[in-house]
Amino acid sequence: MKTENTVWHNQHVSKAQRAELKQQKACLLWYTGLSGSGKSTIANAVDALLFANQHHSYLLDGDNVRHGLNGDLGFSDQDRVENIRRISEVAQLFVDAGLIVSTAFISPFRQDRALAASKLSAGEFIEVFIDTPIEVCEQRDPKGLYKKARAGEIKDFTGIDSSYEAPENPQIQIKTADQSIEQCAQQVVDYLIEHGIIAAKKL
Ligand SMILES: Nc1ncnc2c1ncn2[C@@H]1O[C@H](COP(=O)(O)OS(=O)(=O)O)[C@@H](OP(=O)(O)O)[C@H]1O
Ligand SMILES: Nc1ncnc2c1ncn2[C@@H]1O[C@H](COP(=O)(O)OP(=O)(O)O)[C@@H](O)[C@H]1O
């Protein structure tokens, strides 16, 4: 550790106070799933629903973070671990600000998702498994990446030559092949209401 001479400062305003002002509880919706499974689509739909109902939320999305904060990282196992570690730290700060935070990253390794969860209090970390079979993801192929990976133009592609460890006990499991985008988003919103993170209001 290079931080041995630094001291943690407790803030006067707590996470709970910040969240209460926003009439919500702070939490982290951690979306995980294969490329093309629907993480971004569903996380964006949920975020839009929350915003429309005056909630304070923020979405950290894969490609955007990789263009900036994590622009130095590729797709080796080691780089993915570091990618998720940094995202976990950033997400924790946003949760501290009292927000309903969403992260939409493949986050293929259980251990890294567990690390993200360990930084938050009980009930704050909500693992959302976007459970879409690889055949469906590959058929959708929204960015043409599966085609390139099959052609050998991209290596270490998740689900093809890089592993994905599915969650064993996610708080929310969404089967996108059987439901519309709206139904998937509503499944997340229903969870937030049932667990007292937001009030029912119009959602
Ligand atoms: N080799 C390889 N494997 C998987 N994905 C790849 C790869 N190369 C580029 N991409 C694109 O990068 C997006 C995944 O980035 P993540 O930061 O979510 O990945 S990870 O959590 O670190 O595994 C992923 O975005 P999504 O399709 O939205 O998941 C791809 O668009
Ligand atoms: N029920 C659904 N939920 C989410 N996405 C869906 C669904 N049905 C079809 N799709 C489509 O699947 C694709 C998912 O892409 P994307 O959200 O970018 O996935 P990811 O972020 O996991 O890579 C989009 O083109 C989206 O329109």
Q: Is 66 touching ligand 1 by the criterion CB < 6 Å? A: yes
SS3 154: coil
Ligand at minimal distance from the CA of 184 is: 2
Q: Answer whether 165's CB lies under 8 Å from 110's CB.
A: yes
Task: Please tell me the distance between residue 130's alpha carbon and the centre of ligand 1 in angstroms.
Answer: 14
For 80, the token pair is 């993915």
Cα end-to-end span (Å), the chain: 45
* pLDDT for the residue numbered 9: 80
Atom of ligand 2 nearest to the CA of 176: 1
Q: What is the C-alpha separation between 97 and 13, in angstroms, rounded?
A: 10
Q: Does the pLDDT at position 25 exceed 80?
A: yes
pLDDT band at 11; cut points 50, 70, 90:
confident
Is residue 191 scored above 80 in pLDDT?
yes
Please give the domain boundaries of the chain with CATH numbers for all domains.
15-194 (3.40.50.300)
Instruction: Give the closest residue (by CA) to ligand 1 atom 1.
Output: 157
- Pocket lined around ligand 2, Cβ cut-off 6 Å: 33, 35-42, 104, 140, 142, 176, 179-181, 184
**Which residue among the candidates 107, 162, 163, 180 is catalytic per the annotation?**
107
180 is in an annotated binding site: no
Closest-CA residue, ligand 1 atom 30, reads: 35
CA distance 28 to 127: 8
Mean pLDDT rounded to a whole number for the chain: 95
Going by pLDDT thresholds of 50, 70 and 90, the confidence category of residue 202 is: low
Reply yes or no on whether the pLDDT at 4 is more than 90: no
Question: H-helix or E-strand containing 60?
Answer: strand 57-61
pLDDT over 60 at 203, yes or no: no
Whether residue 147 contacts residue 172, with contact meaning beta carbons closer than 8 Å, is answered with no
The string of pLDDT tens digits covering residues 81-139 is 999 999 999 999 999 999 999 999 999 999 999 999 999 999 999 999 999 999 999 99
- The position carrying tokens 């930084």 is 119
pLDDT at 1 over 70: no
Instruction: Report ipTM for this prediction.
Output: 0.99
